[in-house]
Amino acid sequence: MQRYTEDHEYVRLEGGITTVGITNHAQEQLGDVVFVDLPEVGKTVAKGDEIAVVESVKAASEIYAPLSGEIVEVNEALTDNPALVNEDAEGKAWFFKIKIAASAEFEALMDEAAYKQLIT
């Protein structure tokens, strides 16, 4: 199951763990991604915390925690190859995984139809 934030992040839930990255729309707006700063594994985050940064040739953008929980994994491939975000934003270029504290936060995020309305 996948949801979206107003900050153009996707959140995919699988068994209490969410995979988070930026949407294809977001990477198109950023242009060529040149750097990704990821959070530390084991860090506890609250919804809305600034936890990562993505930099492109156009701008630097903060990535906010879409949910409260614990960072359980980061995508180290982005450190060596940040351009992966442009190639496969909603697939191989996920940023981090959060073990969620409250499933209600996930349910409150936008579904695909609501996100499509936001970006059109």
Each residue's pLDDT tens digit, 74-100: 999 999 999 999 999 999 999 999 999
Q: Give the Cα-Cα-Cα angle 113, 13, 59 (nearest 5 degrees).
A: 70
pLDDT of 78 reads 97
- Integer angstrom CA distances of residue 50 from 20, 91, 111: 13, 22, 22
53: containing domain: 2-103
pLDDT (average), residues 55-64:
93
Asked whether residue 85 is assigned to any structural domain, the reply reads: yes
| H or E stretch at 14 | strand 9-14
Number of domains the chain is built from: 1
Asked whether residue 34 is assigned to any structural domain, the reply reads: yes
What is the CATH number for 97? 2.40.50.100
Asked whether residue 118 is assigned to any structural domain, the reply reads: no
Asked whether residue 113 is assigned to any structural domain, the reply reads: no
pLDDT of 20 reads 98
